[in-house]
Amino acid sequence: MLIVASAVLMTALLPLTAREANACAFELFRPHAYEADQQRVAYNLAFDSVSSNRLFQGDAFFSLPSIERGTRGSRATGTPFIPAALLKAISWVESDMTMAQRSVPFSSIGEGLVSFDCGHGLMQVTTGMTVPLGANGQPSDRQALIATHYAYNIARGAQILAEKWNAAPEQRPIVGTDTASDPALIENWYYAVWGYNGFTGPGANRSNHPLDPTLDDWPRSAFRCDGSQSRNRYPYQELVWGCMANPAARSGVPLWDAVAATLPDMTDQRTFRAMGLANWRFPYSDMDIETPEPAHLAVAPGLPSTFQTTLLGSPSLRSSSERVTVRLNDPGTSMRATVDIVNTGTGTLTWIAEPSANFLVVTPPGGVATGSGVSCTSAACPNGRLTIEVNPTLLPSSSATGTVTVRSPNGGSGTVVIRVDVIADFEVGGPGTSRAR
Amino acid sequence: MAIPRRPLRGAFTVVLPIIALGLIAVVSFAVRPSRDDSPDITTATTGDPVLVYAEFGMNEDQIYLAAPDRLTERSLLATVAHAPGWGINPASQVAGSLVAYTVLPDSSTPERDTPAELWLINIETRNKTRLARDADLLVSPVFVDEGAALVYRRSAGSQQELVRVDLDAQTSLAVHAENTSFGVFPVGVDARGALLFARLSTAGTDLYRVRRGEDAEFVFHISDDIARDFQLSPDGEALSYLAPVYTAERVAFRAHVVAIEEASEQPLAMTADASGEQYGPVWTPSGTGVTVGQEALARDAEPAVVLSTDGSSIEPLPAPARGFDVPLGWSADGRFLAVRSFDGKNSTQPGFESTVIIDSLGERYQVDVPTEVIYIGWYSGV
């Protein structure tokens, strides 16, 4: 019976292992994330505050870097700022502005959105998310925050876009030779947005070049961002421009303010020549162009005084239990234990669970728990639910004890250690074998 | 989905000369015959042309057959599930009763460089066959040898290959491979049986040809810039395409026709606006003319025109009420032309787009669907 039970357990584990064997920050199982409200009010507040570096100002990792400005010969650092409309449109293109899988309701907790190439969450952050970077093969705190908490995910996505912008002029061309490449002009972000999806040239299978012959239809109508047009015909930056101009709506309310930003005019000789084949060579210094007109000036959005409390709060980690027992010989008892991860504070708490022994399997390996002041209305709320299972084939003896340590990157310095007692009423042989009495 | 985050591989060194490969790979096709239960295509039995198009859907496209002058009487040929947001990319025409397309399967990463599947559908039998799983999604496959084979492109990093798939023998052959920072695109088979392909480089766009087991051979220089919309004449002797022309401060794509063997440009009849944008050159079924769209800069509407390749005549087609047309393809009998019709002025202000059929009597029929129409071609029935 126990062999059967073991087989059942392993069968339950194996498909997931195989399916997710492409090792992202969380290797075997997706972490859980908080999906905020359907109107994206929380997300928009995060976009607005991140865009002007007011949410993570002073944070060594998540703050927005200085944004360079000026022409090729006079580039200088400046205030950290990205037009929020760009971030919102990119997020829509990347993830429909969602943090979790489609099956997860809004205002709820569930499996996080992780693509096959390890793109995580709202901004589909891939950079730094393809392998675990923490100790013992575990995800790092930063990875956990990016994978589970929307504000950190948005901040990291904004950083990546800023890196694309700041790659000019040394490695990328600039837009705005006539406007000192002012980052407040949305049109000046054309090349940076192109780079966000890969600064790839004409003819490549990943091309985002606007004149690429593989983009079948010329001319092409603007991308409407309403699900009625295939993406095949558009370079990435035109998808973003299209979504900026045509915000999705829920309950009749647009999810962001429309901005009809201008694309480079390909009938203009200077622009056309700049993007010509002869100029497609590193560092692309002959691809600099003027600001497409009419240009649109972005200003730092106004924020409520409580935005930091709303977005980050002050989470505090606790668990519903610090000792559990898993019995493998009692058909009436589950072969797993569950522990609630509780946030006794405010905001959204990110947690990571790390077992001490290989016979303990934790799912999800990380997640969130919402505190007071965070709207979480489904049955999966507000606590994170940690399931601890035992792989009987890896048990060292018929009774064993291990621990699961739960820590939180944003919930204070304390950790929760859950003792797990395993009682297996069968003989244990060498690793990988077991035999019922 | 996903992010940049992938640096360009390698420096911009184009490796030439090109390696012509004789690597014959006998592939075991993953044949997946299936049938839809939709009604038979009654129009097809008359021999009248039938429009084949797909109606884009966020998660699946539906391929329809429709009588061009009775577009609401359509029948479903197939439903193709795909990765969210990424529709099918069909071959530039229907070959007999065969439809081909690349598509990202619904379980794949929705990215433009995800290896796509290449599928074939027989309109008459409704059998579907998956021919490959490593195609480049955005590069349209090309039927060659009157539908006996398909050529598609596949990539691995900066390595690109043009692969010929013989449909009867079920074999595939990489007929050309090269390492490039740009791209190669199959065009078709010329009158002498060589595969033609366009090739981008820092020098512009060139036409090459390759025969099985031989090195690729330069044919002629198409443009110093990016050219597009390559199409072979029905007899395989000439190539039409769009290439940019610089005039005053503007640049406009204009149609060109070049006799391949002589590498000599054939002067097309000049329209009133000799420097305006032209769009979508497609050959007439007889091969005596090229149909192009033209921008509506000076007037509210501008018709597509048939330009004879001897430069002697210009035949305007019925114009839209407003805007301009971009030709897609003629039915084999020359009675119908499918166009994309825009209500704007030109490539900078294209306006709203719809797909319209123009018949020889001057009537215009709009394909009235709520989402994008993906033109596949014309089926001439049995």
Please tell me which of the candidates A204, A220, A232 has its beta carbon nearest to residue B183. A204
Instruction: Tell if the CB–CB gap between A267 and B140 is shorter than 8 Å.
Output: no
pLDDT value at residue B42 = 41
Which of A307, A338, A356 is the endpoint of a domain?
A307
Same domain for A349 and A257? no
Checking if the pLDDT of A322 tops 60, the result is: yes
Which of A277, A307, A337 is the endpoint of a domain?
A307
Residue A131 lies in a domain: yes
Which of A272, A307, A342 is the endpoint of a domain?
A307
pLDDT tens column, B132-157: 999 999 999 999 999 999 999 999 99
pLDDT value at residue A433 = 54
Print the SS3 string covering A289-338: ECCCCCCCECCCCCCCCCHHHHHCCCCCEEECCCEEEEECCCCCCCCEEE
Mutate to test the interface with A, among B3, B231, B277 (most CBs of A within 10 A): B3
Buried/exposed A136-154: b ≥16 CB within 10 Å, e otherwise: eebbbbbbbbbbbbbbbbb
Angle between helices A141-148 and A150-166 (to 10 degrees): 110
Task: Please report which confidence band the pLDDT of residue A432 belongs to, taking 50, 70 and 90 as the band edges.
Answer: low
Residue A326 lies in a domain: yes
Span A67-89, average pLDDT? 96
Task: Please report which confidence band the pLDDT of residue B170 belongs to, taking 50, 70 and 90 as the band edges.
Answer: confident
Distance CA B338, CA B69 (A): 11
Residue A28 lies in a domain: no
Provide the token pair at A350: 């990110």
pLDDT value at residue A216 = 78
What is the reported pTM?
A: 0.90
Domain span at A388: 2-22+313-435
Which chain A residues in 217-256 lie under 8 Å from chain B, judged by CB atoms? 217-222, 227-232
Span B198-210, average pLDDT? 97
Checking if the pLDDT of A305 tops 70, the result is: yes
pLDDT tens column, A107-122: 999 999 998 889 999 9
Same domain for A203 and A277? yes
Residue A215 lies in a domain: yes
pLDDT tens column, A215-257: 978 999 999 999 999 999 999 999 999 999 999 999 999 999 9
pLDDT tens column, B50-95: 999 999 999 999 999 999 999 999 999 999 999 999 999 999 899 9
State the amino acid at position B196 in one-letter form.
L
Q: What's the first-to-final CA gap in chain B, in angstroms?
A: 43
- The answer to whether A164 and A139 have CB atoms below 8 angstroms apart is no
Task: Please report which confidence band the pLDDT of residue B177 belongs to, taking 50, 70 and 90 as the band edges.
Answer: very high
Residue A9 or residue B275, greater confidence:
B275
Print the SS3 string covering chain B: CCCCCCCCCCCCCCCCCCECCCCEECCCCEECCCCCCCCCCHHHHHCCCEEEEEECCCCEEEEEEEECCEEEEEEEEEEEECCCCCCCEECCCCECCEEEEEECCCCCCCCCCCCEEEEEEECCCCCEEEEEEEECCCCCCEEEHHHCEEEEEEEECCEEEEEEEECCCCEEEEEEEEECCCCEEEEEECCCCCEEEEEEECCEEEEEEECCCCCCEEEEEEECCCCEEEEECCCCCEEEEEEEEEECCEEEEEEEEEECCCCEECCCCCCCCCCCCEEEEEECCCCCEEEEEECCCCCCEECCEEEECCCCCEEECCCCCCEEEEEEEECCCCCEEEEEEECCCCCCCCCCEEEEEEECCCCEEEECCCCCEEEEEEECCC
Identify the three-state secondary structure at position A60: coil
In order of start, what are the domains of chain B with their CATH numbers? Answer: 1-225 (2.120.10), 227-351 (2.130.10.10)
- The answer to whether B151 and B120 have CB atoms below 8 angstroms apart is no
Residue A368 lies in a domain: yes
Distance CA A89, CA B298 (A): 35
Strand order in the sheet with A360-363: A317-319, A336-343, A384-390, A360-363
Give the list of residues 6+ apart from residue A60 with CB closer than 8 angstroms, or none. Answer: none
Distance CA B185, CA B308 (A): 27
**Contact list, B226 vs chain A (CB under 8 Å):** 202, 211-213, 276-277
Give the list of residues 6+ apart from residue B242 with CB closer than 8 angstroms, or none. Answer: A218, B227, B228, B229, B253, B254, B255, B256, B278, B279, B280, B281
Distance CA A106, CA A121 (A): 14
Residue A331 lies in a domain: yes
Q: How many CB atoms lie within 10 A of CB B156?
A: 12
Span B94-111, average pLDDT? 94
Cross-strand bridge partners of residue B324: B302, B342
Same domain for A200 and A165? yes
CA-derived radius of gyration, chain B = 20
Instruction: Tell if the CB–CB gap between A277 and B87 is shorter than 8 Å.
Output: no
Same domain for A127 and A254? yes
Checking if the pLDDT of B377 tops 90, the result is: yes
pLDDT value at residue A2 = 42
Mean pLDDT of chain A: 91
What domain count does chain A have? 2
- The answer to whether A169 and A178 have CB atoms below 8 angstroms apart is no
pLDDT value at residue A16 = 34
pLDDT value at residue A27 = 79
Checking if the pLDDT of B43 tops 90, the result is: no
pLDDT value at residue B27 = 37
Cross-strand bridge partners of residue B174: B163
pLDDT tens column, A348-387: 999 999 999 999 999 999 999 999 999 999 988 999 999 9
Residue A27 lies in a domain: no
Same domain for A241 and A366? no
pLDDT value at residue A427 = 55
ipTM of the complex: 0.89
Same domain for A296 and A349? no
Task: Please report which confidence band the pLDDT of residue B351 belongs to, taking 50, 70 and 90 as the band edges.
Answer: very high
Same domain for A139 and A238? yes
**Which pairing describes strands B70-81 and B89-90: parallel, antiparallel, or unpaired?**
unpaired
Residue B57 or residue B39, greater confidence:
B57
Residue A29 lies in a domain: no
Instruction: Tell if the CB–CB gap between B181 and A282 is shorter than 8 Å.
Output: no
pLDDT tens column, A385-424: 999 999 888 888 888 999 999 999 999 888 999 999 999 8
pLDDT value at residue A331 = 59
Checking if the pLDDT of A435 tops 80, the result is: no
Span B294-307, average pLDDT? 95
pLDDT value at residue B9 = 30
Same domain for A103 and A235? yes
Distance CA A345, CA B72 (A): 60
What are the Cα distances from residue A429, in Å, to A310, A394, A397, A401?
54, 10, 8, 18
Task: Please report which confidence band the pLDDT of residue A430 belongs to, taking 50, 70 and 90 as the band edges.
Answer: low
Provide the token pair at A110: 């569930």
Distance CA B374, CA A38 (A): 32
Buried/exposed B291-305: b ≥16 CB within 10 Å, e otherwise: bbbbbbeeeeebbbb
Same domain for A71 and A194? yes
Least confident residue range of A197-201, A292-296, B184-188: A197-201
CATH of residue A346? 2.60.40.10
Distance CA A81, CA A64 (A): 8
Mean pLDDT of chain B: 88
Same domain for A279 and A343? no
pLDDT value at residue A431 = 57
In chain A, pLDDT over 70 holds for what percent of residues? 91
Which residue's structure tokens are 């002797």? B237
Q: Which residue of A has its CA nearest to B180?
A: A204
Checking if the pLDDT of B362 tops 50, the result is: yes
**Contact list, A207 vs chain B (CB under 8 Å):** 112, 138, 183
Q: Which residue of B has its CA nearest to A127?
A: B5
pLDDT value at residue B247 = 86
Distance CA B4, CA A241 (A): 17
Same domain for A131 and A276? yes
Span B8-30, average pLDDT? 35
CA-derived radius of gyration, chain A = 25
**Which pairing describes strands B171-179 and B289-294: parallel, antiparallel, or unpaired?**
unpaired
Which chain B residues in 82-101 lie under 8 Å from chain A, judged by CB atoms? 85-87, 89
In chain A, pLDDT over 90 holds for what percent of residues? 83
Checking if the pLDDT of B300 tops 50, the result is: yes
Span B222-238, average pLDDT? 97
Instruction: Tell if the CB–CB gap between A267 and B277 is shorter than 8 Å.
Output: yes
Same domain for A289 and A328? no
